[in-house]
Amino acid sequence: MNHPANNVISTIFESSSARSALEFPKHARQLPAEPVTRIQPPRFWERIDFADLWAQREVLYFLMWRDLKVRYKQTILGALWVVLQPVLITAIFTIFLGKLMRVPSDGIPYPVFAYASLLLWTFVSNAILSSSYSLVANAQIITRVYFSRLLIPAATIGVRIVDLVIASFVLIALMLYYHVPLSWSMLMFPVFVVQIAALTFALGVLGASLNVRYRDVGTILPILLQAWMFLSPVVYSSSILPQRSRFLYSLNPLAGIIDGFRASLFDLPFQWLSIIIAAVVTLPLLILSILIFRRMESTFADEV
C-alpha cells in the first residue's frame, strides 16, 4: 500500500513523539483488545445497559431542552400554558361538578381538592400521550443516528415532570388561600409523586414502542385516557363508592396513588390497601414495559 494516508499511519504508529503536532491526537493509542461495539442479530430479550444510558445522559438533557424551548414558540402566553391548562380544567370541573352537582370532596374545598388531582392527571395524560408519539415524531433521528432509543420517551416524560413541578406552585398557592393546615402526613407526598412517575413512565414507554408498529395505539389512546380519568378519583372522591366495590376499584393503580397523594396533602386517612396494590402493580409493569421496549427497539428504524 503506497497511498499517502497509509504512509502517515505507519509513521504515526512507529514514532508516537511526532503525534502531538497533529490535529487528532487520540487516535494514536493502541486498539482495545475487546471490541468497543459488537453488532449482532437481535436476541429475544435484550438486557438493559445502564452504563450506556448513563453515558448518554447529555442526549436526554438536550432532547428535553429542545422540547422545552420549542414547545411554546409562536404562542402568545408561552410557558404560562403549563399552569393555565390544569387551572382551566379545574375551573370547568369546579363549576359543573363542584357547584352544580355538588360532588362530595371529603370536606375539602372543591377547587383545591380537584386541582391537586388534576395536576397529577394532567401530567399522566400529557406524558403518556407525548411519550407514545415520541418515537414516530423523532423518526428522522431514529433512522439516522444511534443512541439508546429509551432516551426519547424518557425525555418527553421528563419535560412533563418539569411542567408538573411548575404547576404545583399553583397548588401551594391554593392550599395557602384555602388555609389547608400543615401536617406530618405531607411528608408522604413524594412517595406518591415517585409512584405516579414510575407508572407513567411504564405506560408511556409501552405506548411508544407499540405505536411504532401499530399506529392504532395513537388513535385509541386519547379515548382510553378519558375513560381512565373517570375510573380514577380525579374529579370526585373515591369515598362515594360503595364499600363492596372498593377492592375492584383499587385494582386501578392510579386510584391508590391519587387517593394517597390527596390524603397526604389534606391529612386524610390513608387507604393502605389501595396504596400497596398500586405499588405491586406498578413495579412489574415498569419492568415489563422496558423489556418490551428493548425487544422492539431493534426494529424501530425499519418500521417507524
Partner 1 sequence: MRPIIKVEKLGKRYYLGPRETVPPTLREAIKNSFGTKVKLISRRNGDRHPSVWALKDVSFEIRPGEVVGIIGSNGAGKSTLLRILARITRPTEGKADLFGHAGSLLGVGTGFHPDLTGRENIYLNGAILGMNRSEITRKFDEIVAFAQVEKFLDTPAKRYSSGMYLRLGFAIAAHLEPDILLLDEVLTIADASFQKKCLERVKIASEGGMTILFVSHNLSSVRQVCCRVFHFDSGGIQGEGKPEAVITNYLKQVSAEPTY
* Interface residues toward partner 1, by CB under 8 A: 1, 3-6, 8-9, 12-13, 22-28, 31-32, 35-42, 58-59, 61-62, 65-66, 69-70, 73-74, 138, 140-147, 298-299, 301-304
Rounded Cα distance, 72 and 81, in Å: 8
Nearer to partner 1, 14 or 242 (CB): 14
How many Å from the N-terminal Cα to the C-terminal Cα in the chain? 43
Nearer to partner 1, 8 or 276 (CB): 8
Nearer to partner 1, 36 or 100 (CB): 36
Asked if 294 contacts 151 with a C-beta cutoff of 8 angstroms, the reply is: no
Q: Closest Cα partner for 213 from 157, 296, 289?
A: 296
Nearer to partner 1, 34 or 184 (CB): 34
C-beta of 69: minimal distance to partner 1 in Å? Answer: 6
Asked if 148 contacts 49 with a C-beta cutoff of 8 angstroms, the reply is: yes
Q: Which cell is 51 given? A: 452504563
Asked if 301 contacts 213 with a C-beta cutoff of 8 angstroms, the reply is: no
C-beta of 12: minimal distance to partner 1 in Å? Answer: 6
Rounded Cα distance, 222 and 48, in Å: 30
C-beta of 202: minimal distance to partner 1 in Å? Answer: 25
Backbone angles phi, psi at 74, to 5 degrees: 60, 30
Nearer to partner 1, 37 or 243 (CB): 37
Nearer to partner 1, 35 or 181 (CB): 35
C-beta of 203: minimal distance to partner 1 in Å? Answer: 24
Instruction: Report the chain's C-alpha Rg in angstroms.
Output: 25
Nearer to partner 1, 23 or 50 (CB): 23
DSSP 8-state assignment for residue 27: G
> What are the residues whose beta carbons fall under 8 Å from the beta carbon of 303, sequence distance 6 or more?
212, 213
Residue type, 80: L
C-beta of 167: minimal distance to partner 1 in Å? Answer: 24
C-beta of 50: minimal distance to partner 1 in Å? Answer: 18
Rounded Cα distance, 21 and 30, in Å: 18
Rounded Cα distance, 78 and 69, in Å: 10
C-beta of 231: minimal distance to partner 1 in Å? Answer: 33
